[in-house]
Amino acid sequence: MLDRVLGLASALSIAVGAVSAPAGPSGHVELTFQDPDIVESSGLVATDDGLFLTTNDSGDGGRVFVVDRTGATVGTTSWSPDPVDVESLAPAGPGEVWVGDTGDNPRSRDSITVLRVPYGRTDRVVDPTAYELVYPDRAHDAETLLADPGTGRLFVVSKDVFGGRVYAAPRRLSADHPNRLEDVAPGFSFATDGSFFPDGRHYVVRGYTGAAVYTFPGHERIGSFPLPAQQQGEGISVGADAELYLSTEGQHTDLLRIQVPRQVARAMAPASDATVAEPVELSTESGTSWAWFAGGGLVVAFVAVVGWLLLRRGQAP
């Protein structure tokens, strides 16, 4: 019953955020996805050679789309068996990408899976190596997979209404037995995707309406800012030029390009002295904005009512 309550609470928060959240700035349209099979772009990776990788949300089979800057799909990589709920992508080195089968709306999975998948300008069917990950506490819904550009170590950011957590995978993954995740830091509320910057000292995590930049390896938030309005923004990737690329669910949707706001970019610059600057809050992230306070209030009321009903049922003769 608790899993159902959490799932319904998440859905309620999504609805409130979509209706109530203030619109952010506009972005430059980098391309429009031409492939009618790209209907729920969830994960996004901008490659160094000018390609974009994306994958559909739950409901599709195991498949990664390779898209050029005209918006045309120039290659696909597919595999079986079908994943449970693919939600995220992360760079895995030249010609490869990490695929995160990490979605779990009802929070009922014993473990999640990441796969190392090749890609290129061709259609191929592969049998990728899969790695099982296990949370140290309980099941979580997660749509964000990060890969440290220096070491390749993976991080999962949970998607929780009242504040997510950052979980680190072991430095060396084993395909032969489960890999236990480590809780290392608080994370973005209701995170839908994330990406490291090329410098390896910062990463960005987005929600439906806003994003925040964090230091690495300290995981300290140094700034947040609003994002352009999108149908259901679930993809973000940092390009080689440190610009941000944003994708959203829907068929024939636009992939947007924006720059990190100047104030946040200044906060990301190497410090000239030992002082620590205050975080730059151009807007509060989607998990703590006024819209999400409203949504959170509704969720709290919803959970309280369900708890009261369960208590009454337990006391009934």
pLDDT digits (tens, 9 = 90+) for 197-249: 999 999 999 999 999 999 999 999 999 999 999 999 999 999 998 999 999 99
Q: Kindly state whether residues 31 and 1 are assigned to the same domain.
A: no
Note the pLDDT of residue 6. Answer: 41
Q: What is the CATH number of the domain that holds 115?
A: 2.120.10
User: Alpha-carbon distance 223 to 217, whole Å?
Assistant: 16
Q: Kindly state whether residues 2 and 115 are assigned to the same domain.
A: no
**Per the structure block, which two tokens stand in for 116?**
């190392």
Query: In what helix (H) or strand (E) does residue 261 lie, and over which residues does it extend?
Result: none
Residues 165 and 183: beta-carbon distance below 8 Å: yes
Average pLDDT, the chain: 85
Name the domain count of the chain: 2
Domain that holds residue 17: 1-21+289-317
pLDDT bucket at 298, cuts 50 / 70 / 90: very low
User: Alpha-carbon distance 209 to 24, whole Å?
Assistant: 7
Q: Kindly state whether residues 130 and 224 are assigned to the same domain.
A: yes
Q: Kindly state whether residues 150 and 10 are assigned to the same domain.
A: no
Note the pLDDT of residue 280. Answer: 85
Query: In what helix (H) or strand (E) does residue 191 lie, and over which residues does it extend?
Result: none
CB neighbours of residue 231 within 10 Å: 12
Mean pLDDT along residues 305-312: 45
pTM for this predicted structure = 0.84
Asked if pLDDT for residue 317 goes beyond 80, the answer is no
Q: Kindly state whether residues 160 and 227 are assigned to the same domain.
A: yes
Asked if pLDDT for residue 20 goes beyond 60, the answer is no
C-alpha distances in angstroms, 166 versus 160, 184, 208?
11, 6, 18
Tell the burial category of 277 from Cβ atoms under 10 Å away from its Cβ (0-12, 13-18, 19+).
Answer: exposed
Q: Kindly state whether residues 62 and 79 are assigned to the same domain.
A: yes
The helix/strand/coil state of 41 is: strand
Note the pLDDT of residue 295. Answer: 45
Asked if pLDDT for residue 304 goes beyond 50, the answer is no
Q: Kindly state whether residues 310 and 171 are assigned to the same domain.
A: no
Note the pLDDT of residue 283. Answer: 57
Burial string for 98-130 (b: 16+ CB within 10 Å, else e) reads bbbbbbbeebebeebbbbbbebeeeeeebebeb
CB neighbours of residue 36 within 10 Å: 9
